[in-house]
Amino acid sequence: MSKARGLADLGNAYDDGALSNRNLIINGAMQVAQRGTSFTGLTNGGSDYTLDRWRWSEGGSPSFVTDVTQDTSAPDGFASSYKIAVTTAASSLGANHSLRLMTRLEGQDLQQTAFGTSSAKNLTLSFWVKSNKTGTYIAWFYNGDADRHISKAYTVDVADTWEYKTLTIDGDTVSGFTNDNGVSIQLEFVLAAGSDFTSGTLATTWQAQVTANRYVGNVNLADSTSNYWQITGVQLEVGDTATPFEHRSYGDELARCQRYYFMLANGDEKTMPTGSYYSSTLVTMPVQFPVTMRSAPSLDSPTGTDYYGIYRDGAFDSFNSFTSTGRPSVNGITVDSNDTGASGTAGHSGPLKTDNASAYLAFDAEL
Amino acid sequence: MDNMNITSAQYSLGLDSTNTSIRAIIDGKELSVPLDLSNRHYAEIMRQVEAGTLVVAEAD
């Protein structure tokens, strides 16, 4: 992109209302990976968050298997990409099978779009993509507040080469987004889809959601174990023009991600807050979150022999799990354990820690 | 929009001996879920309870 073109695009972005905070996507550069950088053997119709804010998802119960990694291959100006690689192939798909990568946006962050009014603004999605499998792919936008959708096709033209894509979608004058912390836009990058999703006519304008019109024409990435697909530099902005990717510092991006998922401690010998014995068999530990979370979060923490422990009164008590949470809010929560091993004297207190490489304590307020 | 696989769900008691959370295994993960409908796990638990496909066990 020439400097003159870049300045012109920024001018257009200013006209649309933003020179900073243009990118509605969080972790578009695939930098943040609190849950880990490698997720293997994904299959059986599962769906889960992987790199922060990005949810790998299968539909149905397909036989293909994929791995997800944070990969170092990326276009100039980026250090990471999101890679999905097929490890077990399915040359044909069942009608309800699908493979998608998605992210979800809160409605209160989308009010600037003026959707649902006569002033509804267009949105532009831009991203870098690389795959060995050329052909047509679908990016799907779903308004969960109104059950409406629009699909845009793009092509991977050259195998094994980073390509820059831009897609502009019309503003929807019919339905807007609820001004709250719930999911309003679900953006999906589609990688495989069965006939349930492809037997209609692609929804190239905003319309009531019809499953058969979602992913028409999408390639089947899962048809060979040599297939992979990578993406980075994902930006969604108000207006007709794709501006240069809005790079944010790692710290800024991490804080944005922590609104949805906060990894407090991960692995062996990691410090947790000070807790105390409420009774002789109940350890309680208050946790304050570093940023205000989207909602009261779920505690995500595995069970294992002596995974956690508390120092108190010159001793260390190990226990296997945290058994409940209390007084949850968007700013903090109390985490309790009355597991076997949490046995001491009421009133004794001290720091808690993880005590196993597989132990972790995280809080999930994802959409 | 999610189709979570919930394999167990049981209320947990807080310090005041009232139900304060649900200990659940969802998509293979052990979670303690707050009783708050803006939490996606709790919303899905309640959806499945209302659909008659899930029962949340009483606390021990």
Q: What is A177-230 written as a DSSP string?
A: --SSSSEEEEEEEEEEE-HHHHSS----S-EE--GGGSSTT---GGG-TT-EEE
Please name which of A126, A104, A130, A109 lies closest in space to residue A49, comparing C-alpha atoms: A104
pLDDT means over runs of 10, chain A (367 residues): 72 66 96 97 86 95 95 98 97 96 98 98 98 98 98 98 98 98 98 98 98 98 97 97 96 98 98 97 97 98 97 96 95 94 94 98 98
- Full pLDDT tens readout for chain B, 60 residues: 567 899 999 999 988 889 999 999 999 899 999 999 999 999 999 999 999 999 999 998
A243 contacts A24 by C-beta, under 8 angstroms:
no
**pLDDT for the residue A7:** 74
Whether ipTM exceeds 0.90: yes
**pLDDT for the residue A14:** 63
Please state, in angstroms and rounded to a whole number, the distance separating the CA atoms of residues A285 and A327: 12
**Paired residues of A346 in beta bridges:** none
Nearest CA in chain A to B19: A326
Please state, in angstroms and rounded to a whole number, the distance separating the CA atoms of residues A82 and A77: 15
Q: Can you tell me whether residue A13 is helix, strand or coil?
A: helix
Please name which of A321, A322, A320, A308 lies closest in space to residue A351, comparing C-alpha atoms: A308
**Neighboring chain A residues of B10 at a CB cutoff of 8 Å:** none
Instruction: Give the mutation candidate from B39, B41, B44 for the A interface (greatest A CB count, under 10 A).
Output: B39
**pLDDT for the residue B15:** 85
Chain A nearest C-alpha distance from B8 (Å): 14
Q: From the list B3, B5, B31, which residue is nearest A300 (CB)?
A: B31
Q: From the list B12, B34, B36, which residue is nearest A323 (CB)?
A: B12
Cα distances (Å, whole numbers) of residue A362 to A76, A193, A298, A322: 33, 33, 8, 11
A50 contacts A32 by C-beta, under 8 angstroms:
no
Instruction: Give the mutation candidate from B2, B7, B13, B32 for the A interface (greatest A CB count, under 10 A).
Output: B32
Please state, in angstroms and rounded to a whole number, the distance separating the CA atoms of residues A285 and A351: 9
